[in-house]
Amino acid sequence: MANNKTSIPKGTRDFGPEEMAKRNYIFNTIKDVYALYGFQQIETPAMETLHTLMGKYGDEGDKLLFKLLNSGDYLKGLTDEDLLGRNTLKLQTRLCEKGLRYDLTVPFARYVVMHREELQLPFKRYQIQPVWRADRPQKGRYREFYQCDADVVGSDSLLNEVELMQIVDTVFRRLGIRVQIKINNRKILTGIAEVIGEADKIVDITVAIDKLDKIGLDNVNQELRAGGIPDEAIGKLQPIIALQGTNEEKLDVIAEVLKTSETGLKGVEETRFILDTLKALGLVNEVQLDLTLARGLNYYTGAIFEVKALDTPMGSITGGGRYDNLTGIFGMPGLSGVGISFGADRIYDVLDALDLYPKEAVASTQLLFINFGERETAYCLPIVGEARKAGIRTEMYPDKAKMKKQMGYANAKGIGFVALAGDNEMTEGKVTLKNMATGAQKLVSVEELIQEVRSQG
């Protein structure tokens, strides 16, 4: 019996053949679109120095970093007092010099700084790699998961924002997922906070506004009051809370409210440019201005995006925005960027829920040759070679097993065609081809075999 202790670390996953085929379908779709827009792939090491990682994700993030015990005598340099002090936070940076990457953004910033001499700006890079977080595992939250990021650094042009929205639109069109793209701008939020004189309450305000549909205007205002926002500010907020209509109508109302805030008006202007340009280009999916969108508020400085699937309940499946000073943390200021990140695990679940995987995407072997023994196999092997030369994914069953077992193998692997050759077939220089879906069998030449299997994809 197998050892019961055989297991994998909690929060991690094995991906079997079918899951891998589905995941590759998602990754390849995203990669193809990134490449179509001129983004180039990079990869960074799984491990970074703790100097690079620590202090970049807040205290909580520092705790959730996976740290690698130093090789050799990792206790060297630690006094008995150090050890008996049992200060785990302090000791860990003495025991460990390296950690696993927590996201792709900090390694990318480190990459840009290290390779700045050889980079051509604007630099459009994409990166699809796993990240690790020592989070408490939950349904849908893993300790190892892939991120699929694209960023442009070294260009302030809003055309980058436009392109990223086009990329989002194209990826989900290709995947067949209908989505709503939400857009906001950090400068508009800053403008609102400025106008009502409550700069530090902007998160509370967006949280309250977000509840309008559920709890109604009176309750939203009550919540704002309870949150310590003065009546005068709440008064000024009314047109923003009640914001409705098309994106253009909304922007007109916001521009009026923010007329005294330079930053706010800049945000309106940026958003107008992005939305107008996208309208002219004609996306398949709707882009909606949503002031309650406030993801990563401390991080983003301009446009903010978020994407939700329309036909199945799921959180955000893609997000991003513009940030200033990506590389400032590594001593290289003044480089702004804008990026998006596709949530591969959630996109996987959406495709599963809506049954949207194309048959070809998960197809494995197309043709299996039955093994009747050494003589038959010697006859079949050159034909197997011909089929492969024609690009058909082909297997010869390696063992002379019972027919039932071999057919069971074909069924379990979802193989579309089975080929057999006994004395008859060998005499005629042909094989019998069975279509596993219809059960139909016919005697065919090698050329006919190839044509038949190919015609079924």
Contact call for residue 152 and its own copies (CB under 8 A): yes
Chosen residue from 213, 214, 298, 331 binding its own copies by CB under 8 A: 331
CA separation, residue 155 to residues 139, 158, 384 (Å): 39, 9, 53
**Measured between alpha carbons, how far is 76 from 59 in angstroms, rounded to an integer?**
27
Interaction of residue 114 with its own copies, rule CB under 8 A: yes
Residue (181 or 195) nearer to its own copies, CB: 181
Q: Tell me, what amino acid is at 331?
A: G
- Residue 163 interacts with its own copies (CB under 8 A)? yes
| Residues 164, 300: Cα–Cα separation, whole Å | 15
Least Cβ distance, residue 401 to its own copies (angstroms): 9
110 is in an annotated binding site: no
73 is in an annotated binding site: no
140 binds its own copies (CB under 8 A): no
Chosen residue from 57, 103, 130, 288 binding its own copies by CB under 8 A: 130
Q: Are 316 and 308 in contact (CB under 8 A)?
A: yes
| Shortest spacing between CB 40 and its own copies, in angstroms | 4
Instruction: Determine how β-strand 179-185 pairs with β-strand 367-369.
Output: unpaired
By CB under 8 A, name the one of 92, 180, 263, 312 that touches its own copies: 92
Which contiguous run of DSSP H or E holds residue 340?
A: strand 337-342
Q: Which amino acid is located at 273 in the chain?
A: F
Angle, CA 39 vertex, CA 325 and CA 277 arms, to 5°: 80
Position 144: which residue type?
E
Nearer to its own copies, 241 or 392 (CB): 392
- The enclosing H or E element of 350 equals helix 344-353
Is 133 assigned a ligand-binding role in the annotation? yes
**Going residue by residue from 355 to 394, which x/- string records binding to its own copies, judged by CB under 8 A?**
---------xx--x--x-----xx--xx--x--x--xxxx
Please work out the total of residues on this chain that contact its own copies, with binding judged by CB under 8 A: 109
The answer to the question of residue 217 lying near its own copies (CB under 8 A) is no
| Residue 27 within binding range of its own copies, rule CB under 8 A | no
Q: Which is nearer to its own copies, 19 or 223 (CB)?
A: 19
Pick from 59, 60, 77, 88: which binds its own copies (CB under 8 A)? Answer: 88
Compute the least distance from the CB of residue 215 to its own copies, in Å: 39
Q: Of 96-104, 180-188, 255-263, 443-451, which part binds its own copies (CB under 8 A)?
A: 96-104
Smaller CB separation from its own copies, 2 or 440: 2
Q: In whole angstroms, how far apart are CA 17 and each of 21, 220, 293, 405, 444?
A: 6, 50, 38, 20, 31
* Under rule CB under 8 A, residue 36 binds its own copies: yes
231 is in an annotated binding site: no
61 binds its own copies (CB under 8 A): no
Q: According to DSSP H, which parts of 197-282 are helical? A: 202-210, 212-226, 231-241, 247-257, 262-281
Contact 215/330 with Cβ under 8 angstroms? no
Q: For residue 228, which phi and psi values (nearest 5 degrees)?
A: 90, 15
9 binds its own copies (CB under 8 A): yes
263 sits near its own copies (criterion: CB under 8 A): no
Tokens, residue 308: 């939700």
Residue 255: CB partners within 8 Å, gap ≥ 6? 265, 268
Instruction: Determine the 3-state secondary structure of 103 from DSSP.
Output: coil
Annotated binding residue 104: yes
- Closest to 61 in 3D by CA, of 102, 100, 10, 106: 102
Residue 149 makes contact with its own copies by CB under 8 A: no
* Contact partners, residue 40, CB within 8 Å, separation at least 6: 124, 125, 126
Q: Give me the least distance between CB of 289 and its own copies, in Å please.
A: 21
Q: Which stretch binds its own copies (CB under 8 A): 38-46, 216-224, 234-242, 248-256?
A: 38-46
Establish if 174 lies at the interface with its own copies (CB under 8 A).
no
* Nearer to its own copies among residue 111 and residue 300 (C-beta): 111
Please, are residues 325 and 334 in contact by the beta-carbon 8 Å criterion?
A: yes
Binding residues: 103-105, 133, 147, 151, 295, 299-300
Binding residues for L-histidine: 103-105, 133, 147, 151, 295, 299-300
